[in-house]
Structure formats: structure tokens, C-alpha cells
Amino acid sequence: MSLPEAPPARPPTWVDDAVVEAAPAGRWTPALSVTCASAACLVLLVAGVLAARPDVAVLGAAPLVLAVRALARRPAGALRAWFEPDVTGDDPDGTGAPGGVRARLGLEGPGSWARVVVRRQDRPGADVLVRVRHERSLPVVARTVRTGPQEVATADVQGVGPDGASVAEPTPSVTRRTTVLPSTTPLLDLPLPVRLRGLTGPHESRRPGEGGGLRDVHPWAPGDRLRRIDWRVTARRSPDLRELYVRREHAQAEAVVVLVVDSRDDVGPDPRTWRGALAPRPQDATSLDRARQAAASLARAYLDGGDRVGLDDLGVRRRPVPPGGGRRQLDRIRHALALTAPEGEPAARLRPPRVPSGALVVMFSTFLDDESARVAARWRNAGHRVVAVDVLPALRTSGLYDRERLAVRLMTLTREDRMAELADQDVEVVTWRGQPAVALRVLARRAQRRPGAGVPR
């Protein structure tokens, strides 16, 4: 059974919570329709006997006998219902499958029928009647564009006896919750920090070392390795071999990137939902969903390139994810992003979060207030290269009143001025709409310079 919602752009990945099971319901009672029909047939039978009308009595006797026979065959036992992870078919590992968030609804009880009503976030879903032969497992698929902790489905189950003559007590509602991890988008070239760190890595630095391109040709000095002697240059400059010349190279280094997510705002494309009275539609991705996807995409791209990536939250004061590399670091960042959410009124910061020296800071925010812009500007003044990623969705202004449309217009003008001030302070601005990979590639090419520029010798 499938719950109707807008499908995501790419298959999501989720972390399943514990299995939720409903208490068994073992009492079976006659259905209301059978009770009313039996009463009518009994009245008809008694009336036929009292009126000495056998034809009338037979009309009421036959259905009454069938009802009694069906009630005598009603099941005895409890009907249980529970949710469990989907570990079959396209999702053997429970880490994600095409088509949406998946789970399985388990049913166990006597040989009978069961009415299953599935809903999601108080939205109507499937209403089916299934056969339960002692045990039955039903697949449940929920399509979503949201990330983070959310409800997969809620099921209400009621047992139905043979011929619908009896019904069991409805089982308590069972709910399956899960944490949907953000998906990633393929990216092209990425901007690098002004300074590269370390003695190894995927990028060529300015320092002398090994692994990079040619730095220069220099007379041999104590400490130079003999395998680096360039015999052609030596033969040309010193035919008598009085002096040896060696080839020196640039050292390889790595980039340190800190992703900063502004979790204070979680707004959708409809401005009427920003006040909190109305919830965004489930098929609309909010700004925090876009921030999670953008941060996960950049983290995957940098980590696949061999760089180190960390994660911090501007809205909540908690221990950040320190910069690291490898597949486990990507999993750690995606889990932290999925759990990022607004937590009440954020406290005012006296200073921006601390980041490693020479790191590239990428901030994901809606920039609806001055706090995020102020923090980005202070990082830039401290010497870091800062990239501001605008994750505000495209607004829908249709259906707004005149005063609401005016408020949106004023907010848009103020935000544009704020973004222009960031650009004047040498903060590079990227909008996560359309083709962000192209915009990031433009930034990467715009900042091309000699390897390791800004790194002291």
C-alpha cells in the first residue's frame, strides 16, 4: 500500500527506529449489521408463527440460521499489529530503496480478515481489507521530500470474522517513525580555502616537498635525495660534474572545510506558514531541507576528493563535528544534519563559532536577519574564505492579501540589500536553486591562482 505524497528528487536514506507493536485485541463481537438483521429476522419468524403463516416464518428463519452459523464460527484469539523495517526486496540492508520511505506492517491472528487503515501526518491514505492466515506482512511506502525525524505511517487495524458477521476490538494505533537522511547532488569543481594545510593531500601547495608539480631546479644541497638529480640539467650546466642539480617539487596538501548550518529558520515556500499557525505542506521542501541537502552534497564532494570536512550549527550551541575525512565522517555528518532542527529561541552570540585556521567556511542560511550575515562577515574579516549559500525556497505569492504581498516585498528588498553587503565584504554568495554546481564551479575558477597562495614558505 502506498501513501500519496510528492516523490523526492532522489531516493532518500533513512535510519529506522525501534519496532512499535500494538497490544492484542482478543474480544470478538457481532457486527452491528448482523445484529440488526438477526433481530429483524427473529421478529419476522415470531410474527409468522403467531400469525400461522409458515411462508413468512421461513423468510425469517433462513437468514437467522445463517447468521447463527456465522457467529458460531467467529475466530477466537487476539489480533496483533506491529511495524518493522523493510528488509526484503529492493532494500535488503535497510539503508534506502527507490520509491520512498519503506516499512512493513505485520499482522498476526486467527484465520480471518482484517481492515487496515493507514494514514500519514493526519492525511488519509490506504483503506484495505486483507486476508490474515495466522500471519501476514504488508509493505508500506511513503513518498516524501522532507528530511530529518518524521512519521512514516500510522495504522489502525480491526479484525473481521467470516462473512463479516463479527468484528474484533480495534487494536491501538501503531506508528512508525524514522529519520530520513539528506540525499546528495553531484557537484563539479569546488572552491578551496586560501591556505592549504598538512603535508599530504589532493591539492598542490606552495611549500616544497614531494608529490606535486615542478617547483624549480636547484643545486644539490645536503638533505637532497640522490634520486632527484636531474642528469640532463647537470650535463648542460656542469659538464665536468663539479656541481649536481636536483629537481624540487611542490608538496601536496589538503583543504579544511567547515560547513555551518543556520537551523534557526525552517520556512517553506508559502509565506503564510512562516508565523507557525499553519504547517508547510508535506510536498514542499523547507529551507532546512534544502540546507541539509546542500551541506550533505558539499560534504560528499570534498570528502571524495580527500579533504577534511567538519560541521557546526549556528542556531544551537552544541559540540560541533570536528573536521575529518573518510566514509565514516560522511555518515557522521549526514546523521548530524538529519537531527538539525530549530530549538526554541536561539541565544545571542557574542562571537562566531571557532573554526580551524585557514579553513573554508560554507554557511547555509536564509539570511532573513542580520545575525547570519554578521557572523559571516566576521569570519571573512578574520581571514577565512567564506561562501554564503542561500537556501530560501522560491516564494509563492499567489493567493496572498495585499498587505501580505507588501510585507513579502519589503522582506525581499531588505534581504537583497543584506546579500549585497555581504558581497561588498568579499563574502561569495551562491543560491541553492537551479544549478548550484555551475555556480560553485564559477567560484572555483574565479579564485584560481598559483598553488598554495597565501601559505608561508
Nearest alpha-carbon partner for 290 in 215, 340, 348, 231 = 340
Q: What is the pLDDT of residue 296?
A: 95
195 belongs to a structural domain: no
176 belongs to a structural domain: yes
Say yes or no: 57 and 109 in one domain.
no
Say yes or no: 404 and 437 in one domain.
yes
| Residue 23, number of CB atoms within 10 A of its CB | 11
For residue 162, give the C-alpha cell: 467470516
Q: Is the dihedral of CA 186, 189, 190, 195 positive or negative?
A: positive
Say yes or no: 167 and 84 in one domain.
yes
Is residue 419 classed as helix, strand or coil in its secondary structure? helix
| Helical pair 32-50 and 54-72, crossing angle rounded to 10 deg | 150
Least confident of 202-211, 254-263, 299-308, 402-411: 202-211
pLDDT above 70 (res 452):
no
DSSP 249-295: EEEEEB-EEEEEE-TT----S-GGGTTSSSPPPTTS--HHHHHHHHH
Say yes or no: 173 and 218 in one domain.
no
Q: Residue 109 belongs to a domain with what CATH number?
A: 2.60.40
Distance CA 241, CA 234 (A): 7
Say yes or no: 240 and 261 in one domain.
no
Say yes or no: 9 and 117 in one domain.
yes
222 belongs to a structural domain: yes
Q: What is the pLDDT of residue 113?
A: 85
Backbone angle region of 330, left / alpha / beta, with phi > 0 → left and psi within -120 to 50 → alpha = alpha
**pLDDT classification of 409: cutoffs 50, 70, 90:** very high
Say yes or no: 110 and 231 in one domain.
no
452 belongs to a structural domain: no
Say yes or no: 109 and 155 in one domain.
yes
Say yes or no: 379 and 433 in one domain.
yes
> Which DSSP helix (H) or strand (E) runs through 142?
strand 135-142
Say yes or no: 341 and 364 in one domain.
yes
Task: Look at 396 and 454; give whichever has higher pLDDT.
Answer: 396
193 belongs to a structural domain: no
Tell me the residue range of the domain where 63 lies: 29-74
197 belongs to a structural domain: no
383 belongs to a structural domain: yes
Say yes or no: 215 and 317 in one domain.
no
Task: Look at 8 and 53; give whichever has higher pLDDT.
Answer: 53
Question: What average pLDDT does the structure give for the chain?
Answer: 80
| Residues 179-206, mean pLDDT to the nearest whole number | 77
**pLDDT classification of 457: cutoffs 50, 70, 90:** very low
Cβ contacts of 441 within 8 Å, gap of 6 or more: 188, 189, 190
pLDDT digits (tens, 9 = 90+) for 366-375: 999 999 999 9
Q: What is the pLDDT of residue 8?
A: 41
Q: 3-state DSSP: the chain helix, strand, coil percent, rounded to 5?
A: 30, 30, 40
pLDDT above 90 (res 333):
yes
Say yes or no: 212 and 348 in one domain.
no
Q: What is the domain count for the chain?
A: 4
pLDDT digits (tens, 9 = 90+) for 215-226: 667 787 787 777
Task: Look at 8 and 403; give whichever has higher pLDDT.
Answer: 403
Give the rounded percent of residues in the chain with a pLDDT score beyond 70.
Answer: 81
Q: Residue 420 belongs to a domain with what CATH number?
A: 3.40.50
Least confident of 62-76, 133-147, 296-310, 378-392: 62-76
Least confident of 89-98, 245-254, 260-269, 441-450: 89-98
pLDDT digits (tens, 9 = 90+) for 73-121: 777 777 888 998 876 544 433 334 444 788 899 998 876 788 899 988 7
Distance CA 68, CA 6 (A): 48
Q: What is the pLDDT of residue 209?
A: 58
How big is the CA angle at 452 (ends 449 and 453), to the nearest 5 degrees?
A: 55
457 belongs to a structural domain: no
pLDDT above 60 (res 207):
no
pLDDT digits (tens, 9 = 90+) for 340-357: 988 877 777 777 888 888
